[in-house]
Amino acid sequence: MKALIQRVSSAKVEVDGSITGAIKQGILVFIGIEKTDEKLQIDKMIKKLLAYRVFYDDDGKMNLSVADINGGVLVVSQFTLAADTKSGTRAGFSTAKPPAPAAILYDYFLSQIKQVHTPIASGIFGADMQVSLTNDGPVTFLLEC
């Protein structure tokens, strides 16, 4: 599983012109679910991303997590993160989990993260989404589990 996280001062996702999720300060999380991923990887990723230190403390060091600052988390499914890009000039998607089982894991991700953190917002799995954000920093990390 891969999660591309961006520290944001605000972010939103729209589907068909309607906002499905929006946050103020927090992290925007694009998740790519790979073929071998199961609930164990989801659980590990949730712990990791909520604890990952990307916000500044009083000394100007990145020592605070989104949980520490009670920031928002906007979750957006992005199967292209699971792409094989090692060769050629076109991505291959044989490493991505097929849509039906990936949707189940995405829903599991949302249900589990909502149990341990608020606020949580999200896009819609498989939808054509328009994502807007103000990257704060910029600060972007690729997390893998």
DSSP the chain: -EEEEEEEEEEEEEETTEEEEEESSEEEEEEE-BTT--HHHHHHHHHHHHH-EEEE-TTSSEEEETTTTT-EEEEEE-GGGG-B-SSSSS-B-TTBPPHHHHHHHHHHHHHHHHHH-S-EEE--TTS-EEEEEEEEEEEEEEEE-
Residues that are catalytic? 78-80
The structure tokens 């990257």 sit at 135
